[in-house]
Amino acid sequence: MIVCFDIGGSAIKGAVAHSVERIEPLGRRPTPLDDFNAFAETLRLVIDEAGGKQDRIAISVTGVVDPETKAIKCANIPCIDGRKLSAELSDILGVPVLVANDADCFALAEAGAGAGHGHRIVLGVILGTGVGGGLVVDGKLINEDGGFAGEWGHGPAVASVAGTPPVAIPAFDCGCGQRGCVDTIGGARGMERLHLTLHGKTLTSEEITTLWQAGDAEAARTIDVLVDLISSPLALTVNITGATIVPVGGGLANVTPLIARIDKAVRARILRKFDRPLVVPGECGIEPGLIGAAILGLGGEFQ
């Protein structure tokens, strides 16, 4: 038995995992942001709620573990930023602790129990507030030891012109410190930024996608440009990884027509041709972070 966690900037969600098919949710608690002792104690309370003897703890968390130093970089939860989280929590909780990025856990969940089940190479993509991703090969997370593999949302990869007819697109500053990253135009905030740039109007991503599906011309222009901008870097990532399925999570994954548009554009730009959908909505709609953490903790027993 393991206890798994999905930890974000607002909440810590826990579950007991006996197998991938048997994951029992535990309590949900606010995330202590500035007090590491309180953070660790919150985990302990959830573990105590689980009862029994745990083989290990597995955590899906916002942030990236450095594969060499094992320190985590996590802007959303200051009290864990820079810490060797796995080792420190193992000492405090008295049980081995595995830590992985939340996008990586999404990819692991989709590979084991979602749209990627049965595929050898699964590229999980997040189109949420921003853009993220994770890579699973032969049932194993490429980033088991930490790192940035699969993070197609960062790096200056956005074209300077896009859409039909073409329009100039500025290289927006990214939170990672670079300019022109896919993250700046590809997620919900990116869509809103594009709409403001193209039309001088401030709308939410929900408003833009609703207007688009209702036939609004300005919203359609925004979606056209967005799809054009993100499809080439995503196609390149598919070419490099050899992924045969690309499940999508995050809020924009719920806009099925948008995912279908991206799929069509990506399949037109990759070397290998598929006569079936490649970029698809993720199937682990409820708690993919917990499912991915469970699979991580269980050692990939879904195979």
Q: pLDDT above 90 covers what percent of the chain?
A: 80
What is the pLDDT, as a whole number, of residue 207? 98
Q: Which two tokens stand for residue 299?
A: 């050692």
Segment of 6-15, 45-54, 176-185, 262-271 carrying the highest mean pLDDT: 262-271
pLDDT at 70 over 70: yes
User: Mean of the per-residue pLDDT values for the chain?
Assistant: 93
Q: How far apart are CA 86 and CA 100, in angstroms?
A: 10
State the average pLDDT over residues 1-19. Answer: 91
Q: How far apart are CA 261 and CA 279, in angstroms?
A: 9
State the average pLDDT over residues 50-57. Answer: 84
What is the pLDDT, as a whole number, of residue 226? 98
pLDDT at 300 over 80: no
Q: 2-104+287-297 has which CATH code?
A: 3.30.420.40
What is the pLDDT, as a whole number, of residue 20? 80
Where would I find the H helices in 22-84? 36-50
Helix (H, G, I), strand (E, B) or coil at 193: helix
What is the pLDDT, as a whole number, of residue 55? 85
Q: 117-281 has which CATH code?
A: 3.30.420.40
User: CATH 3.30.420.40 residue ranges in the chain?
Assistant: 2-104+287-297, 117-281
Q: How far apart are CA 88 and CA 92, in angstroms?
A: 6
State the average pLDDT over residues 265-288. Answer: 93
Helix (H, G, I), strand (E, B) or coil at 199: helix
Cβ 178 vs Cβ 155: under 8 Å: yes
Query: DSSP letter at 5?
Result: E
State the average pLDDT over residues 15-29. Answer: 87
pLDDT interval class at 303 (50, 70, 90): very low
pLDDT at 285 over 80: no
Q: pLDDT above 70 covers what percent of the chain?
A: 98
State the average pLDDT over residues 252-268. Answer: 97
Span 180-214, pLDDT tens digits: 999 999 999 999 999 999 999 999 999 999 999 99
Span 94-112, pLDDT tens digits: 999 999 999 999 999 999 9
Q: Which residue is associated with the tokens 């554009």? A: 265
pLDDT interval class at 236 (50, 70, 90): very high
Cβ 2 vs Cβ 17: under 8 Å: yes
pLDDT interval class at 175 (50, 70, 90): confident
pLDDT at 53 over 90: no
pLDDT at 218 over 50: yes
Q: How far apart are CA 81 and CA 182, in angstroms?
A: 24
What is the pLDDT, as a whole number, of residue 213? 98
Instruction: Give pTM, 2 decimals.
Output: 0.91
State the average pLDDT over residues 29-54. Answer: 92
State the average pLDDT over residues 216-245. Answer: 98
